[in-house]
């Protein structure tokens, strides 16, 4: 049946341009993923079920959920499907008729299609609407303007922050569920960390239990028909207090999702409540889980250890009049960009085709900083790049000038009080370039962007250990990956 529904879905998608799909945030679920998401629903001793689909599309997730509920012994099922796109309602109706025909004798199935904006309708506020038992959803993804969008205040009573519509969908669905109601959602991993989603994570933690996370190792094949490269995860939340354990499973892509292995981890390993952020950490295997356990033993956090991290102040499109690719131009200082950040050492010679200088004219001061020792950390890496963390020491004795320019695609790190020494800077650079730290960071963030907020809350070694790493690195000739890992693992007593 699901394959027939997929064909209906493709027919609907063929009526939409890429621009229309992007405007509505539509990325449709395939049969394998829909079937797997429905399999996470677990109902016992419940003969009557109400299903909520907050962005129905062509109805494939509701169809899969109905089949699952029937398998679990439900005899009466009512599905309520919200869909903003009026053109989709005919396809939903066809899908539900297929579902009705496939229902076994003795099963009563009914449905209603509501052609309204789910977020602005807020069914959780309608006292006449009975709460729902189950919701299996693929919410739309798009950012909205916090000043002009009609969504800007729509969920402020639930949580503060984050202008992305998918979080609003998840929040309203959770508010619409009964006690012990279940929400299974496929969504971008971005809500699991970062400042923008802090309020949303607190809302989820306060009102629900995270039971299961499924991750995809191949990020570009889950919504391959829709050209989505966003890293997505499947989560199951239950409207009850958080349990002591959380299950995590993984698959290469959607094709092998039913063959995925599941591992159970302690709740505190996955949800980090030590710093108030409630970051959701996702180890891919036991090796990464051990890395999380070892990181929790570190003496401090990045910030508490006395370091600061800031984003480079030179924003290219705003400072074009200051930037010159003529690297011999007078009255200017070097401008460091991501290509200048190499493992351990920053390199700016003026010979690279992307090397640039920042001209000292007009109000140049606000874009530059004092030329001291810093550790530079790339903010962006490509999706296929082997490493997420690439760090380098900026040496003011090699790249000379009173002031220095750092592009905003670079983070720079220093001490909150005082200035870094070369030894400590090399210790920091080696630590960030280590395999251990790279794997640790990947457990916290699925983004290819390295945000300062994420670095500030990292569990971090003591400064004396970082200085010892720096001393050992400076005394070695071998600065390749194996050499860096050998030093970091030795000083921090990490298992190799």
Quick one: 255 and 392 in the same domain? no
Quick one: 311 and 278 in the same domain? no
Task: Give the pLDDT score at 105.
Answer: 81
The residue behind tokens 């002009």 is 148
Considering only CA atoms, which of 359, 313, 361, 351 is closest in space to residue 332?
Answer: 359
Quick one: 214 and 331 in the same domain? no
Task: Give the pLDDT score at 9.
Answer: 61
- 3-state SS, residue 375: strand
How many angstroms separate the Cα of 146 from the Cα of each of 81, 161, 165, 319?
27, 9, 11, 26
Quick one: 368 and 470 in the same domain? yes
Number of domains in the chain: 2
Report if residue 156 sits inside a domain. yes
Report if residue 298 sits inside a domain. no
Task: Give the pLDDT score at 228.
Answer: 46
Question: Can you give the residue range of the structural domain that contains 326?
Answer: 307-492
Sign of CA dihedral 332, 338, 339, 340: positive
Task: Give the pLDDT score at 259.
Answer: 77
CB 345 within 8 A of CB 370: no
Report if residue 297 sits inside a domain. no
Quick one: 472 and 369 in the same domain? yes
CA distance 393 to 409: 16
The residue behind tokens 């639930």 is 158
Q: Which two tokens stand for residue 252?
A: 């290469």
Q: Which two tokens stand for residue 419?
A: 């200035």
Report if residue 69 sits inside a domain. yes
Task: Give the pLDDT score at 496.
Answer: 55
Q: What is the DSSP string of 424-479?
A: HHHHHHHHHHSHHHHHHHHHH---SB--HHHHHTSEE--HHHHHHHHHHHHT-S--
Task: Give the pLDDT score at 104.
Answer: 75
Alpha helices in 220-309 (DSSP H): 267-270, 286-296
Tell which of 247, 282, 317 closes a domain.
282
344-345 and 374-378 as β-strands: parallel, antiparallel, unpaired? unpaired
CB 58 within 8 A of CB 138: no
The residue behind tokens 């250990």 is 465
The helix/strand count (H/E) of the chain reads as 15, 23
CA distance 221 to 431: 33
Burial class (CB in 10 A: 0-12, 13-18, 19+), 194: buried
Report if residue 292 sits inside a domain. no
CA distance 431 to 138: 38
CB 432 within 8 A of CB 341: no
Task: Give the pLDDT score at 18.
Answer: 60
Task: Give the pLDDT score at 226.
Answer: 47
Quick one: 395 and 332 in the same domain? yes
CA distance 63 to 111: 11
**CATH code, domain with 353:** 3.90.220.20
Quick one: 13 and 67 in the same domain? yes
CB 275 within 8 A of CB 457: yes
- Backbone φ and ψ of 413, nearest 5°: -125, 135
Report if residue 92 sits inside a domain. yes
Task: Give the pLDDT score at 14.
Answer: 59
Quick one: 273 and 340 in the same domain? no
- Backbone φ and ψ of 383, nearest 5°: -60, -30
Task: Give the pLDDT score at 361.
Answer: 93
The parts of the chain modelled with pLDDT lower than 50 are: 21, 24-25, 221, 223-229
Q: What is the DSSP string of 22-87?
A: HHHT--PPPHHHHHHHHHT----S--EEEEEESS-TTSHHHHHHHHHHHHTT--EEEEEEE-S-GG
CA distance 225 to 166: 20
**CATH code, domain with 245:** 3.40.50.150
Quick one: 92 and 209 in the same domain? yes
DSSP label of 252: S
Q: Which two tokens stand for residue 420?
A: 């870094």
Q: What is the DSSP string of 104-149?
A: PTT-EEEEEEE-S-HHHH-GGG-TTSPPEEEEEE-----B--TTT-
Task: Give the pLDDT score at 378.
Answer: 96
Quick one: 84 and 212 in the same domain? yes
CA distance 390 to 360: 29
Report if residue 291 sits inside a domain. no
DSSP label of 352: S
300-301 and 307-311 as β-strands: parallel, antiparallel, unpaired? unpaired
Quick one: 316 and 269 in the same domain? no
Report if residue 16 sits inside a domain. yes
Considering only CA atoms, which of 440, 423, 432 is closest in space to residue 484?
Answer: 432
Quick one: 229 and 313 in the same domain? no
Task: Give the pLDDT score at 490.
Answer: 96
């Amino acid at each position: 049946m699901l394959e027939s529904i997929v064909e209906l879905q493709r027919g609907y998608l063929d009526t939409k341009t890429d621009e229309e799909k992007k405007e509505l945030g539509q990325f449709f679920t395939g049969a394998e993923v829909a079937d797997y998401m429905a399999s996470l629903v677990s109902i016992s001793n419940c003969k009557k079920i109400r299903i909520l689909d907050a962005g129905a599309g062509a109805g494939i997730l509701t169809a899969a959920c109905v089949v699952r509920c029937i398998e679990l012994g439900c005899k009466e099922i009512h599905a309520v499907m919200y869909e903003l796109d009026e053109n989709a309602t005919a396809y939903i109706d066809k899908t539900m008729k297929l579902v009705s025909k496939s229902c076994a004798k003795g099963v009563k199935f009914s449905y209603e299609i509501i052609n309204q904006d789910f977020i602005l309708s807020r069914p959780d506020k309608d006292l006449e609407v009975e709460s729902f038992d189950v919701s299996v959803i693929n919410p739309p993804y798009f950012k909205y303007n916090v000043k002009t969008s009609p969504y800007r205040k729509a969920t402020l009573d639930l949580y503060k922050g984050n202008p992305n519509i998918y979080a609003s969908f998840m929040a309203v669905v959770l508010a619409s569920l009964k006690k012990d109601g279940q929400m299974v959602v496929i969504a971008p991993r971005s809500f699991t960390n970062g400042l923008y989603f802090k309020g949303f994570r607190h809302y989820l933690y306060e009102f629900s239990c995270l039971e299961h996370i499924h991750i995809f190792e191949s990020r570009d094949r889950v919504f391959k028909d829709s050209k989505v490269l966003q890293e997505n995860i499947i989560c199951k939340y239950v409207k009850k207090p958080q349990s002591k354990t959380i299950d995590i499973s993984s698959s290469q892509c959607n094709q092998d999702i039913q063959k995925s292995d599941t591992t159970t981890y302690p709740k505190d390993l996955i949800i980090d409540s030590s710093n108030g952020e409630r970051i959701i950490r996702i180890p891919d295997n036991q090796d990464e889980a051990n890395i999380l356990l070892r990181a929790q033993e570190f003496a401090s956090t990045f910030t508490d250890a006395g370091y600061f991290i800031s984003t480079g102040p030179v924003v290219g499109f705003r400072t074009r009049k200051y930037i010159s690719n003529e690297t011999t131009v007078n009255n200017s200082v070097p401008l460091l960009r991501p290509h200048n950040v190499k493992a351990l050492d920053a390199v700016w010679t003026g010979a690279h085709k992307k090397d640039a200088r920042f001209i000292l004219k007009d109000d140049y001061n606000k874009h530059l900083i004092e030329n001291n020792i810093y550790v530079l950390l790339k903010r962006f890496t490509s999706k296929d790049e082997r490493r997420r963390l690439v760090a380098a020491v900026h040496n003011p004795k090699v790249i000379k000038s009173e002031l220095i320019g750092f592009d905003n695609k670079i983070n720079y790190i220093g001490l909150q009080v005082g200035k870094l020494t070369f030894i400590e800077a090399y210790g920091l650079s080696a630590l960030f370039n280590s395999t251990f730290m790279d794997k640790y960071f990947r457990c916290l963030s699925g983004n290819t962007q390295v945000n300062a907020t994420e670095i500030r809350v990292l569990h971090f070694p003591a400064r004396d250990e970082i200085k010892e790493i720096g001393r050992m690195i400076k005394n070695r000739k071998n600065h390749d990956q194996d050499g860096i890992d050998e030093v970091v693992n030795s000083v921090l007593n990490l298992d190799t």
